[in-house]
């Protein structure tokens, strides 16, 4: 889980006790680093001053500033809280708060080194006790590099009011430095307001609620035998599960955002492929659309020929049949010719255009058709009449016989039935 930072608002004690309880109850390998600028308290409290000589984060700061030996001297400055297993280690804090100024330029260096401890063999999670932030030289770089920031406060109203100011300061700093939201959680100690009410009022989820266990808190503050079945130790051990789950979800989301394959581009609708030799397109006339008739190709009239017309050729006239009277009377004799000059019959222009030339002949360059000679005395007009057919009388059919009273008709006559008359 890399770095888990513990922060305490003003007037809310218990952050160091909570961090130590988590260190002694969690199942993973843990390093508890006292990063409180106000100084550490575990060397004189929980350990009871059993260790002699300077040791802790102050000595690492001097070694890093002089020789840059933070990685080499780090493991020598740790205290094994569960010797000789070396699974729960302690990096003591400053013995003198006046040395906090020398740590200000090194907080970023410590944050990078604590982050890499997760990938060591064996790997360690770092629980950083950052203390109160309303002091000089707070360890902001460690909070920015932390996978989770736990604000420890009591459930009473004065402490919750101070927690609201601390949450606002943390959120502002994380936003200004580009840290994704969702790393801050609340850890409520003791009775008072409920978890849901506190979460809605402060706008931050409550990760856990720790009970008041004065006997265990006394041991963790001044030394003694820690019993894992005590309520405080059991609640601290249960805190590992939600915190680890939150860190895993955030890392999975960050990994997906950085390694997800890019979305394929949306295909754009394109026009139909153009051929190598596109058909010529006629430009549309400017202005509103108007329907124009298609021009008809007509043959140009030749010299002396009647004018051509665009209408189609009319079908040939159908000869009229003679009436019945004319068929009985026979063909009439032609009238005697008068000595005067015969009049030329008028020819309709449509028939003249048809007989003169057709459009196909004009297109193919064929000569115009020869007009028939006008009728004269030597060449009289020919009138057509149907041939005479003598009239033949049809014999009358035999009278019809009625069928009455079951009588059968004659064998050679048609069968008729007389309908009953209406009375």
Q: Classify residue 319: in a domain, yes or no.
A: no
**Residue 73 burial (CB count, 10 A):** 14
Mean pLDDT by 10 residues, the chain (423 residues): 89 86 94 93 87 85 90 92 90 89 91 92 93 89 95 92 94 93 92 90 93 93 91 94 90 72 60 51 50 48 50 57 50 48 53 53 51 58 56 56 48 50 52
Question: Residue with structure tokens 């090194």?
Answer: 106
pLDDT value, residue 346 = 54
For residue 211, give the CATH number of its domain.
3.40.50.300
Instruction: In whole angstroms, give the CA distance from residue 107 to residue 96.
Output: 17
Q: Classify residue 129: in a domain, yes or no.
A: yes
Q: Classify residue 127: in a domain, yes or no.
A: yes
Q: Classify residue 161: in a domain, yes or no.
A: yes
Question: In terms of Cα–Cα distance, which of 22, 40, 29 is closest to 75?
Answer: 29
Q: Which residues of 288-324 are buried (b: 16+ CB within 10 A; e: fewer)?
A: eeeeeeeeeeebebeeebbebeeeeeeeeeeeeebee
Instruction: Please state whether beta strands 88-91 and 79-80 pair in parallel, antiparallel, or not at all (unpaired).
Output: antiparallel
Helix ranges (DSSP H) in 78-184: 100-103, 107-116, 140-145, 157-176
- Identify whether the C-beta of residue 227 lies closer than 8 Å to the C-beta of residue 216: yes
pLDDT value, residue 328 = 45
pLDDT value, residue 291 = 46
Q: Classify residue 340: in a domain, yes or no.
A: no
Question: Residue with structure tokens 């390694």?
Answer: 259
Question: In terms of Cα–Cα distance, which of 393, 383, 386, 382 is closest to 327?
Answer: 386
Q: Which residues of 192-217 are buried (b: 16+ CB within 10 A; e: fewer)?
A: eeeeeebbeebebebbbbbeebeebb
Q: Classify residue 119: in a domain, yes or no.
A: yes
Q: For the chain, give the longest Cα–Cα distance.
A: 168
Q: Classify residue 226: in a domain, yes or no.
A: yes
pLDDT value, residue 54 = 81
User: In Å, what is the CA distance from 214 to each residue of 13, 25, 236, 251?
Assistant: 13, 17, 14, 37
pLDDT value, residue 336 = 45
Instruction: In whole angstroms, give the CA distance from residue 303 to residue 368.
Output: 10
Q: CA 111 from chain center: how many Å?
A: 40
Instruction: In whole angstroms, give the CA distance from residue 185 to residue 148.
Output: 7
Q: Which residues form the domain of 13? A: 3-256
Instruction: In whole angstroms, give the CA distance from residue 217 to residue 372.
Output: 139
pLDDT value, residue 251 = 84
Question: Residue with structure tokens 């690492």?
Answer: 60
Helix (H, G, I), strand (E, B) or coil at 273: coil
pLDDT value, residue 351 = 56
**Could you tell me how many helices (H) and strands (E) the chain has, helices first?**
14, 10
DSSP-derived letter for residue 139 is: -
Cα dihedral 134/135/137/143 (nearest 10): -40
Phi-psi region of 138 (alpha: psi -120 to 50; beta: other; left: phi over 0): beta
Helix ranges (DSSP H) in 87-226: 100-103, 107-116, 140-145, 157-176, 195-202, 214-222
pLDDT value, residue 147 = 93
Q: Classify residue 300: in a domain, yes or no.
A: no
pLDDT value, residue 338 = 46
**Residue 354 burial (CB count, 10 A):** 18
Question: In terms of Cα–Cα distance, which of 170, 63, 42 is closest to 110?
Answer: 63
pLDDT value, residue 406 = 47
How many domains are there within the chain?
Answer: 1
pLDDT value, residue 381 = 57
DSSP-derived letter for residue 62 is: H
């Amino acid at each position: 889980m890399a770095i888990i930072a513990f922060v305490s608002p003003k007037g809310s004690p218990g952050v160091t006790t909570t961090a130590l309880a988590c260190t002694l109850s969690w199942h993973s390998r843990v390093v508890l680093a006292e990063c409180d600028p106000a100084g550490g308290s575990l060397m004189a409290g929980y350990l009871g001053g059993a260790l002699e000589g300077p040791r802790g984060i102050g000595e690492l700061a001097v070694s890093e500033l002089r020789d840059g030996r933070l990685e080499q001297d780090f493991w020598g400055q740790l205290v094994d809280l569960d010797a000789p297993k070396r699974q729960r280690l302690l990096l003591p804090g400053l013995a003198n708060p006046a040395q906090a100024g020398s740590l200000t330029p090194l907080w970023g260096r410590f944050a990078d080194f604590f982050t890499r401890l997760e990938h060591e063999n064996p790997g360690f999670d770092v629980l950083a006790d950052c203390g109160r932030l309303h002091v000089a030289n707070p360890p902001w770089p460690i909070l920015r590099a932390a996978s989770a920031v736990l604000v420890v406060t009591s459930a009473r109203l004065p402490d919750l009011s101070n927690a609201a100011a601390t949450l606002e300061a943390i959120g502002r700093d994380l936003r200004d430095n580009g840290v994704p939201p969702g790393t801050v959680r609340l850890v409520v100690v003791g009775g008072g307001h409920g978890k849901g009410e506190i979460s809605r009022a402060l706008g931050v989820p409550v990760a856990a609620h720790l009970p008041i266990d004065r006997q265990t808190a006394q041991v963790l503050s001044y030394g003694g035998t820690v019993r894992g079945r005590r309520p405080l130790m059991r609640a601290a051990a249960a805190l590992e599960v939600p915190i680890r789950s939150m860190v895993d979800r955030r890392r999975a989301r960050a990994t997906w955002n950085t390694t997800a394959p890019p979305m394929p581009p949306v295909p754009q609708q394109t026009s139909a492929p153009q051929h190598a030799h596109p058909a010529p397109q006629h430009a549309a006339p400017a202005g509103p659309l108007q329907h124009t008739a298609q021009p008809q190709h007509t043959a140009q009239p030749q010299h002396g020929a009647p004018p051509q017309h665009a209408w189609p050729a009319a079908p040939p006239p159908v000869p009229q049949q003679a009436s019945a009277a004319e068929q009985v009377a026979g063909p009439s004799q032609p009238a005697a010719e008068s000595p005067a000059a015969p009049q030329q019959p008028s020819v309709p222009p449509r028939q003249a255009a048809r007989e003169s030339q057709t459009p196909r002949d004009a297109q193919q360059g064929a000569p115009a058709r020869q007009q028939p000679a006008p009728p004269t005395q030597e060449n009289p007009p020919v009138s057509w009449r149907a041939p005479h057919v003598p009239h033949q009388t049809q014999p009358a059919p035999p009278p019809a016989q009625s069928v009455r009273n079951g009588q059968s008709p004659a064998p050679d006559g048609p069968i008729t039935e007389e309908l009953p008359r209406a009375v």
